[in-house]
Amino acid sequence: MKLTFLGTRGYIETVTDAHRMHTTALVSYRGRSVRIDCGEDWVGRCGEVRQQAIFITHCHPDHAFGLKQGAPCPVYAPPEAAEEMADWPIDDLRVINCGEPVTVGGISTEAFDVQHSTRCPAVGYRISAGVVTVFYVPDVVYIKDREAALAGCQVYIGDGATIDRNFVRRQKDTGELIGHAPVRTQLTWCRKLDVPRMIVTHCGSQIVKGGEEAVRRVEEYGAERGVEVEVATDGLEVVLR
């Protein structure tokens, strides 16, 4: 399996050479590829990437709005996102339900419920190809069935909106938690469930503005927990075997 990070910037105004495009990743295996998310700065550019399918985690602008002018391939989205996207000119929009894996080109993708936004429910994806399994979740407060989602994963690809600042709050009308778990917390999930490696994407201001110092702090949190960690940058390619 090869991971290509086409974009790693969260929904922030700051843009750098390392973090320029909204968060999206390409998962490739034996000449076939699926893409996860397509934010609004990809509008009109989806065809620049060769992909057999696009999987959407949720319908926030930086994850789905790049498809507002259509898509060159089938698009899979969880029910709430698919409903929001129903009027977009997507020729082949399909619903993906949690617990029902979809296989495209030898790449199996299974959605898992995660808490992030009550108004725009999100999922993370457990992705398997050959002998490799990863979990990809760019926006998350917590994973509702974390043990099943991360079991046997070689890599956890998680939310970099904040390194250690509190970015979680309660929705006033429902009391539900919304926002983003810090990288530090997600590294603890990896330690507890024996996931040896984390790659940080969907980078927020702490990382994008913090540069090398921020990356060092992320690496220190990883070392404290015995988890190998790196911060993804636009264009990063990772081969997993």
3-state secondary structure of 150: helix
In tens, the pLDDT along 126-173 reads 999 999 999 999 999 999 999 999 999 999 999 999 999 998 889 877
pLDDT at 93 (0 to 100): 98
Nearest 5°: CA angle at 224, between 222 and 225? 65
pLDDT at 172 (0 to 100): 79
Q: Which domain holds residue 84?
A: 2-239
pLDDT at 167 (0 to 100): 87
Task: Compute the average pLDDT of residues 103-115.
Answer: 97
* Residue 1 pLDDT exceeds 90: yes
- With beta carbons less than 8 A apart as the criterion, state whether 109 and 126 touch: yes
In tens, the pLDDT along 116-125 reads 998 889 999 9
Task: Compute the average pLDDT of residues 45-56.
Answer: 94
Percentage, residues of the chain above pLDDT 70? 100
In tens, the pLDDT along 203-224 reads 999 999 999 999 999 999 999 9
- With beta carbons less than 8 A apart as the criterion, state whether 57 and 133 touch: no
pLDDT at 171 (0 to 100): 83
pLDDT at 101 (0 to 100): 98
* Residue 176 pLDDT exceeds 90: no
Task: Compute the average pLDDT of residues 9-18.
Answer: 96
pLDDT at 28 (0 to 100): 98
pLDDT at 46 (0 to 100): 87
Supply the mean pLDDT for the chain: 96
| Cα–Cα distance for residue pair 237/113, rounded to 1 Å | 27
Strands 122-129 and 107-115: antiparallel
| Cα–Cα distance for residue pair 236/134, rounded to 1 Å | 16
CATH number reported for the structural domain that contains residue 30 in this entry: 3.60.15.10
Q: Quick one: tokens of 45?
A: 């550019």
pTM of the entire structure? 0.97
Q: What is the count of structural domains for the chain?
A: 1
pLDDT at 201 (0 to 100): 98
Helix (H) or strand (E) holding 75, with range, is strand 75-77
Question: 175 pLDDT band (50/70/90 cuts)?
Answer: confident
From the list 111, 93, 91, 92, the residue with the least C-alpha distance to 101 is 111
* Residue 18 pLDDT exceeds 90: yes
| Cα–Cα distance for residue pair 216/194, rounded to 1 Å | 22
Task: Compute the average pLDDT of residues 72-96.
Answer: 97
| Cα–Cα distance for residue pair 208/139, rounded to 1 Å | 16
The burial of 79, by beta-carbon neighbours within 10 Å (0-12 exposed, 13-18 middle, 19 or more buried), is given as middle
